[in-house]
Structure 1
Amino acid sequence: MYTAEKLPLLKTTFESLMAKKIFHCVSIYISMDKKGMQQNLHLAQAKLKNCLKEVSSVLLQYQLHQSDVEDYLEPISQLLDRVDLWRNPSKGLAIFLDPETGLQYFKIPISFETQTYVANHFYLKPLFPIYINDGTYYLLEISRDYVKLYKASRYHFEDLFVEDFAPKRLEEAVGFDYRPKMLQFRSGQNVGGAGVFHGHGEGKDDDKKELVKFFRALDKGLKKAIENQNAPLLLACTDYLYSIYKETSTYKNVYDGHLGGDPEFKVKTSLHQDSWNLIEPHFTKIESEMILKFKELYHTQKTSYEIGDILSAALNGTVDTLFIENDTDIFGTFDITSNKVRIDESKEISNTSLTNLAALETLKKGGKVFFLPTEDMPVENSNLNAIFRY
């Protein structure tokens, strides 16, 4: 049986990490080894050992005793001996440690650059792709006797059990004596997936009526199962069923395009990737539209590429959209009372990642965040660009 992939890091957990404010928070990111040869060489464990040395060195700068540092980092050190962790890897491993909660670690389907971060908060910038521009959508698989609904995104695929709210086959919606007027129905399939009928068109008309009734009942159940009804609904079904469902449904965002064929006979392990490949352009389009909006507003007070202005707006909740150049980080300090920024060359115990700060504050207050390659940033040679709400 196929088991849908759960979100690697629940949004509630991510939010609790965002909210953490306490001295000596440790964040570690490493890539993991998926190939057997690399696993046998313990390359990922070697990366973690080096990270532990880096973190230990930083903690000692906080005037902690060597023995206290070793005791504090012991839960992370114990991960080195967790054979199950290294033998069943994802692409990346994110590790968090703080004095209150202790150790938390997550296998993440993102290949991370190896890095460590010690501060009075966690460094979460590498995890943002899980939650921003990941593209939340719903996938509905339908045939006459099969219904499945999934909530999905780039890294998330979860069965919503729509059968708890809606009929799971046509007979449940129209009764088991349906198609009473069909003439000489054959079980063969035509190109669109509909049955083949003989007579004066009565069978095909009746078939469509029964499907409309089924889909109306299903549509009503979807409204109960789907939380975010602004998200696109992607269908996996035959061409024939897609045209009828799209015509019948009252859901306002049925996606233009579908995964063809009968979903009952598809390999479920590829369903997530196939559906994301089809719908990804929809979310890329949103990103492009926001870049165009920035350029249209460029010479107004509703945009900025000044770090101080953007940080101030992010902390005050007035950033609508934030663009971050994803290959670099900005370290320094920011004084919100004077709006002054000091930029440093690297992470120090007295500074913070200003990029991480801007992203977290924007996301906390309901803004959109996009990570872009250098060449796609709205303003050339800039690290942060923002559209303000007002």
Structure 2
Amino acid sequence: MQHTGLPHEKHIHLPNAGTLKQLMEHRGECSVSIYFPTLQAGPETQQNRIHFKNALKQAEDGLRACGSSDEAIERTLAPIRGWADDEERWAHQGHGKAIFLHDGECHAHRLPASVEARTLVGDRFHVLPLIELQSASLDHYVLCLEQNGPRLLHSSAFAMDEVVMDFPSLSDVLGEELTNETQQGHSTNGAGGRHIFHGHGDGSDEEHKKELRKYCRAIDDAVRGILPSERTPLVVVAVDYVGAIYAEASHHGNLVGRVTGNPGSFDREELHRRALEVAEEQLRSPEHQDLERYEAARRTSKTTSDIRELLTAATDGRVELLLVADDQLRFGSWDPEKRKLSAAPETPRSENELLDLVAREVLAKGGRVRFMGDEDLELHADEPAVAVLRF
């Protein structure tokens, strides 16, 4: 980790899989995890600082209960001490905040969705809210083919952000093959967009279509070099004939659909909504499959919702799928060696939060974690989750 100032929080995003893994693997006595909701506009944004000040006080109390000296407390909290008076920081917020502190180091995230306020101190970071947000993220990518040149955006259920990348230019791809008309368009637009994507409304000129197909293939190669895998969902936004030619030229393994229209005519919110509508059916398919897997396992008694059995099965690597219905804090003291669950200490620590323990064990041992509504799982009020067991 490193000291995190405003530049490190420029974007509103979820921590990626690598960052989440680092947070999960972190161990260090008196580590602090802070979460609270934030508002983006209006007079209610003053609540952001109130949430922060409350969390700071809770962190101080937790560190003191953890046995930290006054000097150690100041060293741990030093990176965020001045935040309450930092006007620029509070002028740019997401919907939630996550802050992780240990021994003078800080890792902070502006989150794209609201989180419940909670502050925990212990020998590890509390990561359950991040696991929940990732479970619901519906990650996909959106490629816009427009007159100002192509753009690639990373999109989720919460937000859409542009991916910084270099696309090939028309001259790089076509060279001497450029027609006079396309050269004229290229001369006014270094990104290579105006005539290659909008030269003819119906795409009837065969020479132009040939050039467009070749350029689309080059764009496709560049995009595939950026996407995490061949199965990453990709939505293309373009006028009808351009989108059709790109789909024909593309070698990407998961082109989930197209939004027809000039991308430049959509504002960011509408672009996000339209692309998500196209991709959502496929993106939610794993969720439906997991529910079907749960229903099948329930008929064969390969499920458990008892918290002690959940902890035991997760510790033993027997959980294939963990379905969480309720992420409220539940504390206890779990001894993985003796497989024994007892009451939590008077001042619970982060390692005493039981659902966080189960979820991180499941992920560490190759299982899946998904957050679902109570109505989907039909659990009792005192059962926060259910596991589908491998054996």
The one-character-per-residue Cα deviations of 1:5-36 (angstroms, maximum 9, x if unpaired) are: 56353443332221111111111112224334
Letter in 1 for 2:27: K
Shift of 1:378: 5.9
Q: CA deviation at 1:321?
A: 2.2
- Match among 25, 43, 50 for residue 47 of structure 2: 43
In structure 2, the partner of 1:34 is 40
Contact kept in structure 1, 2:14 and 2:134, CA below 8 Å:
no
Match of 1:116 in 2: 119
Corresponding residue number in structure 2 for 1:132: 135
> 1:134-183 deviations in whole A, cap 9, x for unaligned?
122221222587322233333452425251xx555897389212899xxx
Deviation for aligned residue 1:38 = 2.7
Deviation per residue, 1:82-101 (Å, 9 max, x gap): 222222222222222212x5
The answer to whether the 8 A contact 1:327-1:373 is kept is no
Q: Is contact 1:174-1:214 (8 Å) kept?
A: no
Report the CA distance shift for 1:82/1:66 in structure 2 as closer, same or farther (over 3 A).
same
Instruction: Find the counterpart in structure 2 of residue 58 from structure 1.
Output: 62
- Is contact 1:322-1:368 (8 Å) kept? yes
Please give the TM-score of this superposition, normalised by the length of structure 1. 0.79
Letter in 1 for 2:25: A
One-letter amino acid matched to 1:387:
V
Describe the shift of the 1:221–1:327 C-alpha distance in structure 2 as closer, same or farther (beyond 3 A): closer
Instruction: Check if 1:172 corresponds to 2:174.
Output: yes
1:217-275 deviations in whole A, cap 9, x for unaligned?
4434433332321111111012233333334433221113x222122444356534542
Question: Pairwise mapping of residues 117-266 of structure 1 onto structure 2 (< 5 A)?
Answer: 117-143=120-146, 146-154=149-157, 155=159, 157-161=161-165, 163=167, 166=168, 172=174, 175-177=177-179, 195=201, 203=204, 208-256=209-257, 258-266=258-266
The one of 20, 34, 40 equivalent to 2:26 is 20
SS at match of 2:295: helix
Cα distance in 2 between the residues matched to 1:6 and 1:33? 13
In structure 1, the partner of 2:288 is 288
Aligned to 2:192: none
Partner SS, residue 34 of structure 1: coil
Is residue 305 of structure 1 aligned with residue 305 of structure 2?
Answer: yes
Aligned length: 366
Match of 2:90 in 1: 86
Cα distance in 1 for residues equivalent to 2:70 and 2:341: 34
Q: Do 2:11 and 2:110's aligned partners in 1 also have CA atoms closer than 8 Å?
A: no
Asked if structure 1 preserves the Cα contact closer than 8 Å seen for 2:37 and 2:48, the reply is yes
Change in Cα spacing, 1:334 to 1:193, as seen in structure 2 (3 Å) is farther
Cα contact 1:239–1:260 (8 A) shared by 2:
yes
- Distance between the aligned counterparts of 2:316 and 2:164, measured in 1? 36
User: Quick one: distance in 1 between partners of 2:272 and 2:171?
Assistant: 23
The alpha-carbon distance between structure 1 residues 136 and 350, as it changes in their structure 2 partners (threshold 3 A), is closer
The answer to whether the 8 Å contact 1:93/1:108 transfers is: yes
Gaps of 5+ in 1: 181-191, 198-202
TM-score by length of 2: 0.78
Tell me which amino acid in the other structure corresponds to 2:179.
D
In 2, Cα distance between equivalents of 1:308 and 1:115:
24
Structure 2 unaligned blocks of 5 or more = 1-9, 183-197
Cα distance in 2, alignment partners of residues 271 and 376 from structure 1:
30
RMSD across aligned C-alpha pairs, in angstroms?
3.6
Distance 1:63 1:143, change over 3 A: closer
Distance between the aligned counterparts of 1:82 and 1:295, measured in 2?
51
Please, which moves more after superposition, 320-329 or 298-307?
298-307
Q: SS of the counterpart of 2:308?
A: helix
CA contact (8 A) 1:141 1:263 kept: yes
1:290 is displaced (CA, Å) by 0.7
Cα distance between partner residues in 1 of 2:221 and 2:229: 15
Partner AA of 2:356 in structure 1: N
- CA–CA separation in structure 2 for the residues paired with 1:285 and 1:227: 19
Q: Which has the larger displacement, 10-19 or 83-92?
A: 10-19
1:120 Cα deviation from its structure 2 partner: 0.9
Deviations 1:306-344 (A, max 9, x none): 333333343344433221123423221223234333365
Alignment match, 1:384:
385
Give the equivalent residue in structure 2 for 1:324: 324
TM superposition shift of 1:50: 2.5
Name which of structure 1's ranges 319-328 and 345-354 shifts more when overlaid on structure 2: 345-354
**Greater share of helix residues, 1 or 2?**
2
Deviates more, 1:78-87 or 1:277-286: 277-286
Amino acid at match of 2:240: D
CA contact (8 A) 1:167 1:217 kept: no
